[in-house]
Structure 1
Amino acid sequence: MRYILLLFPLLSCCNSNIWNIQVEDPFIQKGSKSHYFRGNAPTSDALSLHLTSTISSNQIQDKSLPNVKLSVSPNSEEYYHWDTDVRYSIEVSDAVDGDSKYGEININEVLLEIEFLPKTDREEGKEIIKISDIEPDDKGLSLLKKSTCFNCHADKTVLAGPSFSKIAERYKNTAGTIKSLSHRILNGSIGEWGSMEMPAHPDLTSEETEQMASYILLQGGKKNNWVLPGLEGTFRIIKKPGNVTEGIYMLTASYTSTSLMKGQFSRKLHIK
């Protein structure tokens, strides 16, 4: 209350277009300042008020990235072997959305991306770049995660419906194919892949279903790249290619929060 009483006489004697308030917040790093400007005139130091902010820690945390952790079993610090299974689990905590250990995280927004790289100096460089960069999801992938598509479809595994890879094998990635697949996603279809009926998705637009179809064809056509939704599962390392002695599996677990903030955790598995 004493701040309010002090502010009124100070503000009343100054031009409202040339004031600069510096807010010190206990949750912001010491020495940093937030500046708030009013009006269109250039700011000046004619009036500088040093206040103690009462911003809650939750408001500060709203802007933080989700915390993502990836664990694998067996957890080898040396080498994994060709044609063997690896089990994984992902833990997520977010200041707004909650924690996966309490069932508060939307598992459809949790994704594990796997990429196989033959071990060469060039690919090691690519690996380092991939670990350090956090890129936004493809628009089509974001839409797939928000829909029910992953209930019936997977990237390289056949579930109730065809996998992305089977779709990419049957159809060429052309503008005409994208429009045709988009129409089926939007309006539903039956008889394209046996007797299983694909329901309509009237809540989506034609533009959105085209983005989804484009991603399905693109991802399905990748031979050494997999996407696996959910908090846990098992994947199998590929059989040893004839011209490769060693390789790397790049694992990137990610989560996109309701605040549209993306957190991720990357690690590599050496294969021989």
Structure 2
Amino acid sequence: MNTPPLRHLIANALTLLLAASGAALAQSEPTALVDQQHCMFCHTRDAPFLAPSFQQIADRYRGVPNARVMLEHKLRLGGKAHWGDIAMPLPADRGGPLTPEDAHTLIQWVLSQ
């Protein structure tokens, strides 16, 4: 019988564990916040609509210093357009004010796309 060397078995086991842990670390959608803020009125997960997709936002700001803070601020207060002509609506026009914690949760999820 031809059995693989122990190091190959260990390498395969580590690969499976890393893949499983990566899937476990993937952030699930904060559905209640997304619904409350009406995010899907303008955004989709993977294709531009009235505003950029969440994947486009993640791609643009991945690795940008302080991007998370800037995006959380914009989400909480609204702001001028960074993409096209449509500005981020004011919180009152989206479903009400967001706490800093809720803004952080949403932005973490968007940037994980």
RMSD: 2.5
Number of aligned residue pairs: give it: 86
Shift of 1:212: 0.4
Structure 1 segments, 4+ long, off by >4 Å, are: none
Q: Give the greater-gyration-radius structure (CA).
A: 1
Q: How many angstroms does 1:139 deviate by?
A: 6.9
Which structure shows the bigger proportion of residues in helix conformation? 2
Number of the residue aligned with 2:111: 217
Instruction: Give the 3-state SS of the residue equivalent to 1:142 in structure 2.
Output: helix
- TM-score, with length taken from structure 2: 0.64
Deviation at 1:142, TM superposition (A): 3.2
Note the alpha carbon deviations across 1:76-109, whole angstroms, 9 max, x for none: xxxxxxxxxxxxxxxxxxxxxxxxxxxxxxxxxx
Alpha-carbon shift at residue 147 of structure 1 (Å)? 2.1
The 1:143/1:198 distance shift into structure 2, 3 A limit, reads same
In structure 2, do the counterparts of structure 1 residues 173 and 144 end up closer, same or farther at CA, with 3 Å as the change threshold?
A: farther
Correspondent of 1:150 among 40, 49, 56: 40
Spell out, residue by residue over 1:166-202, the C-alpha distance to the aligned partner (whole angstroms, 9 max, x if none).
1011102578221111111111112311211211215
Ranges in structure 2 where 5+ consecutive residues have no aligned partner: 1-15
- Give the 5 Å matches for 1:228-239: none
- Secondary structure of 2:85's counterpart equals strand
1:161 alignment partner AA: A
Match of 1:203 in 2: 97
C-alpha separation in 1, matches of 2:69 and 2:79: 14
- SS of 1:179's equivalent in the other structure is helix
1:140 and 1:173 map into 2 onto residues whose CA distance is 23
For residues 54 and 43 of structure 2, the distance between their equivalents in structure 1, rounded to whole angstroms, comes to 7
Structure with the bigger RCO (C-alpha within 8 Å, sep 6+) is 2
- The residue that corresponds to 2:51 in the other structure is 161
Identity of aligned pairs, percent? 26
The answer to whether the 8 Å contact 2:81/2:88 transfers is no
Q: Residues of 2 paired with 1:213 and 1:173: CA distance?
A: 14
- Structure 1: stretches of 5+ with no match in the other structure: 1-121, 131-136, 221-272
Which is strand-richer, 1 or 2? Answer: 1
Q: What residue is the counterpart of 1:194 in the other structure?
A: 84
